[in-house]
Structure 1
Amino acid sequence: MPRTADHEERRRQIADAVIRLISEHGLDAVTVARTASAAGMSVGLVQHYFRSKDEMLLHAFREVSARIRSRVDERIRDGVQHERPLAQVMSDVMTEYIPLDGARRAEYRVARAFAGRALDSPALADVDTESARRLREDIARAVHNGKECGEVDEHLDPQSAAVRLAAMMEGLALQVYREPEGTAGQAVTRFAVPLLEAEVAVVFTGECRQYAK
């Protein structure tokens, strides 16, 4: 039986409740009863849409990943539309994964919580792996395109460059998350984007002939 728009909206509401609980209280705070209360639903209604807690968590993890992915896709479309250099587009894309504000910080906490649980859950691990793979594919594609237009040295391997930049971004995101407040935290946050841009500039060293005036 096909799912209706109302069905999907209910599932999104439940996912939102799970995400809020994790971002505010941690993964252990998530129960069907607490999720139902946070979503303004009955326990029975939540169980109607999700047969188990694990199924509910899996949907919430997919929802978080999809939200980040949606912003990334928007960054890419915007860069193409406005003919921005690939280096700038990739810096903007990777910045979406850095917890520089409240919304991204909450997402990062949720993603880390799920990544930890994914160690013992193949279904969650698949979502985590696919999200990481898609980011590397985005970077590798940008590097490949950069080689064609002149922004990247023609001898650079796109796959190795993608692994390097993704690893740097993930490490930087963790550093920012660990230092949310105080002098140290402000310093890490202030340096985050310039450090990311500097690392991207090591890969994208030239100027795109396509956009040259």
Structure 2
Amino acid sequence: MPRTADHEQRRRQIADAVSRLIAEHGLDAVTVARTATAAGMSVGLVQHYFRTKDEMLLHAFREVSARIRARVDERIREGVTHKQPLAQVMADVMTEYIPLDEARRAEYRVARAFAGRSLDSPALAEVDTGNARQLREDIARAVHNGKECGEVDERLDPLSAAVRLAAVMEGLALQVYREPEGNAGEGVTRFVGPLLDVEIGLVFTGECHQYRRE
């Protein structure tokens, strides 16, 4: 039987409740009963949509991943619409994965909790691996496009550059999460923009011929 809009809305509501519990209290706080309370539903209704806790967690991981992905896609669309240099688009995309505000910090905590659990859950590991692969593909595609328009040296290997930039971004995200702010502005957040500019600048070294002609 096809799922109705109400069915999908209920599943999203439950997934959001799971994410809030993880963001506020950690993964161990997630139970069917607590999720039901957070979602404003009965335990029976939650179990109607998800037969097991693992099913519920898997759906919540997919939902938070989709939410981040939607923002990344919007960044890419905005870059194309406004004819921004690929280096700028790449900086905007990578910044979406770094917990620079409370919303992204909560998402990062949730995603990291799921990534940890994925070590023992093949289903969660598939989502986690897929997220990482998609990020690398986004970067590699940008590098490939940059080679065609002149922003990237044609000798540069897109996948190698993508692995490097993804590693930089993931490392920065973890550093920011661990220490977002310090005394007298000594936190690592202030280094994010400059470090991304340096690393991205090592890849996107030229100017787009297409935009220059226009």
Taking structure 1 as the reference length, the TM-score comes to: 0.98
**Aligned positions of 1:187-198 closer than 5 A:** 187-198=187-198
**Count of residues paired in the alignment:** 213
**Aligned positions of 1:93-172 closer than 5 A:** 93-172=93-172
CA–CA separation in structure 1 for the residues paired with 2:200 and 2:57: 34
Give 3-state SS (helix, strand or coil) of 1:62's partner: helix
Contact residue 23 and residue 109 of structure 1 kept, 8 A: yes
- Structure 2: where are the runs of 5+ without partners? none
Change (3 A) 1:115 1:185: farther
Post-superposition offset of 1:198 = 1.4
CA–CA separation in structure 2 for the residues paired with 1:126 and 1:76: 25
> Partner residue of 1:74?
74
Give 3-state SS (helix, strand or coil) of 1:134's partner: helix
CA–CA separation in structure 1 for the residues paired with 2:91 and 2:209: 19
CA–CA separation in structure 2 for the residues paired with 1:180 and 1:49: 37
CA–CA separation in structure 1 for the residues paired with 2:114 and 2:191: 27
Contact residue 176 and residue 185 of structure 1 kept, 8 A: no
Contact residue 147 and residue 153 of structure 2 kept, 8 A: yes
CA–CA separation in structure 2 for the residues paired with 1:166 and 1:210: 26
CA–CA separation in structure 2 for the residues paired with 1:33 and 1:185: 41
Residues 46-83 of structure 1, C-alpha deviations (whole Å, 9 max, x = no match): 00000000000000000010000000000000000000
> Partner residue of 1:39?
39
Residues 117-167 of structure 1, C-alpha deviations (whole Å, 9 max, x = no match): 000000000000000000000000000000000000000000000000000
CA–CA separation in structure 2 for the residues paired with 1:96 and 1:183: 25
Q: Structure 1 residue runs of 4+, over 2 Å off?
A: 180-187
CA–CA separation in structure 1 for the residues paired with 2:139 and 2:205: 15
> Partner residue of 2:50?
50
Contact residue 98 and residue 176 of structure 2 kept, 8 A: yes
> Partner residue of 2:91?
91
Question: What amino acid maps onto 2:59 in structure 1?
Answer: H
Contact residue 98 and residue 176 of structure 1 kept, 8 A: yes
CA–CA separation in structure 2 for the residues paired with 1:184 and 1:89: 31
Taking structure 2 as the reference length, the TM-score comes to: 0.98
Change (3 A) 1:184 1:112: farther
- Structure 1: where are the runs of 5+ without partners? none
Question: What amino acid maps onto 1:97 in structure 2?
Answer: Y
Post-superposition offset of 1:196 = 1.0
CA–CA separation in structure 1 for the residues paired with 2:113 and 2:142: 30
